[in-house]
Structure 1
Amino acid sequence: MSVPSSRSPASKPRPPLDSVDDAPPASVAPSSRSPASAPVLVIDDSEIAREEVSRVLRSAGFQVLALPSPIGATQAIVRLKARVVVVDVFMPTIRGDRLLTLFRKNQRLGQLSVILISGHSERELEQLKLEVQADAVLSKRNLDRLPALVKQLAGKER
């Protein structure tokens, strides 16, 4: 026997932000959000890495949308009003640094902050950061530093 729910359909809790269709309401302007609550897009072809990066950010209070490839990234960024994107450097469809170059050429994405992540050390990634004008690089071995880095970039005007 089931117990009737006291909740009306309108008061249903929203599921976690897992798809572009679950974007926050357009009435919430990006500048009115605190940096810690700003939506973050994570793009990584590795399911394990994507889930771990998402978990670290969600546990720090960020709304996260995770994509397994760059396909649909521009649409997701615009709909979410994301201010920070975390992109894996080594993906089969397009490298993260090349994707960043495309973001920089797109006027709608001009204020976007991009963090390139990789299994390589940050020391190895520093040259790439300079070449493609990434806002930051981070080794996947140092994900504990990611929330503070995202918060800093989300609150900064680019």
Structure 2
Amino acid sequence: MSETPPAKEPRRTLGEIFVEQGIISEKTRERILERSRQLGRRFGSVLEDLELITGEELAIALATQYDCRLLPNLPRIKVDNAVLEMIPVEVAMQHLIFPIKSEGGRLAVAMADPADNRVIENLAADTGMEIVPFVATKQDIREAICYRYLNKGATRPSERTVLVVDDDKLIRTMLGDILSGAGYRVLKAKDGMEAFKQVIAQSPHVIISDLEMPLLNGYGLLGALQNIPETSFIPVIMITGKAKSEEDELKAFQTGFFDVIFKPFTAGSVLARVKRAFHFYEHQYRLF
């Protein structure tokens, strides 16, 4: 008579791992767990954003939790262009993943979240290869994407930064002058796709986006940002030349826009909305 194999132990949670390592207390674990539920964000991401853990500590814990190899210094790893082409830049940015090596029908991929089975399954279907996940920090993946796909460095601004997105150069200039005159650092993009790349590379705190643009419109940009846990909480203010209507305003708020600016606009109306957006950005993680 064959013996019944022992039951597999349940996977430890990140909170349990961090408490065991003495990085956080049990009380902090409970508070962060509740806050992450309220925000609809990953437990580890909230801890990292609150600077209660480092990106490296989160990556080590995830590698332990999911029994994956840890990949330090990802931006320094040389990757063949043929391997890069296996994952389009838009997919890499959306899911914070980065291809490393292809060999024998297997594709090694650096991931910030090895728990995302949907991404692994989709990659396997798209490439026809077995996906081997490695864990890297979000910052290392961002830098690797910027260096290898976008040919630019990744930064995190110390100044309050607003990204202005509009296909009308005059509007970009007007908004830029208003914001820079009030002391904000201003980034500019002429369409939603360029804006998406700017978000990954530059990490703005607030976004003002036109509604109708080529390549990726305002709703498309917002949707792309909402699909990434690390960018889903950035307040996005819609700016539109449509005649003001309650229906359009309601649709914008229901979709997830933080606020709406109707053209023509005044400096006061723009700055009031941006100030409120920064207040939201800076206070959303209050725990008490």
TM-score higher than 0.5:
yes
Deviation at 1:77, TM superposition (A): 1.9
The match for 1:135 among 258, 276, 279 is 258
* Max Rg structure: 2
Answer yes or no: is the 8 Å Cα contact 1:39–1:80 preserved in 2: no
Once the two structures are overlaid, the 10-residue window that deviates more, 125-134 or 61-70, is 125-134
TM-score (norm 2): 0.41
Aligned ranges 1:1-158 → 2 under 5 Å: 26=156, 28=158, 37-124=159-246, 125-144=248-267, 145-157=269-281, 158=284
**Taking structure 1 as reference, are residues 56 and 41 closer, same or farther at Cα in structure 2, changes over 3 Å only?**
same
* Contact 2:192–2:217 (Cα < 8 Å) also in 1: no
Comparing 94-103 and 39-48, the one that deviates more: 94-103
Aligned-pair distance for 1:140? 2.3
Secondary structure class of the residue paired with 1:108? coil
Structure 1 residue 27 displacement after superposition: 7.9
Matched to 1:58, the amino acid is S
Paired letter, 1:43: V
CA deviation profile, 1:118-156 (whole Å, cap 9, x unmatched): 112443531221331100010121232111211211121
TM-aligned CA distance change 1:78 to 1:127, over 3 Å: same
Residues 122 and 138 in structure 1, CA contact (< 8 A), matched pair in contact too: no
Structure 2: any 5+ residue segments left out of the alignment?
1-150
Q: 2-side partners of 1:22 and 1:60: how far apart?
A: 27
Give the unaligned 5+ runs of structure 1: 1-19, 29-36
CA contact (8 A) 2:193 2:221 kept: no
Q: Is the 8 A contact 1:97 1:116 kept in 2?
A: no
Q: Which amino acid aligns with 2:251?
A: L
Asked whether the equivalents of residues 157 and 204 of structure 2 are also in contact (C-alpha less than 8 Å), the reply is no
Q: Distance in 1 between matches of 2:157 and 2:262?
A: 35
What is the SS of the residue equivalent to 2:252? helix
Which deviations, in whole Å up to 9, do the C-alpha atoms of 1:90-140 show, x marking residues without a partner?
A: 112222122111211112202200000011244353122133110001012
> Cα–Cα, structure 1 residues 27 and 72, in superposed 2: closer, same or farther, change >3 Å?
closer
Residue type of the alignment partner of 2:184: F
Higher RCO by CA contacts (8 Å cutoff, separation 6 or greater): 1
C-alpha distance in 1 between matches for 2:258 and 2:157:
28
Could you list the per-position Cα deviations for residues 11-56 of structure 1 after superposition, in whole angstroms to 9, with x for gaps in the alignment? xxxxxxxxx9698x6483xxxxxxxx51000110011111111111
TM-score (norm 1): 0.71
Task: Identify the residue that residue 8 of structure 1 maps to in structure 2.
Answer: none
Equivalent pair of 1:39/1:63 in contact (CA under 8 Å): yes
CA contact (8 A) 2:157 2:203 kept: no
Change (3 A) 1:136 1:26: closer
Distance in 1 (alpha carbons) for counterparts of 2:187 and 2:152: 10
Number of matched residues? 130
Provide the secondary structure at the position in 2 that maps to 1:65.
strand
Letter of the 1:146 counterpart? V
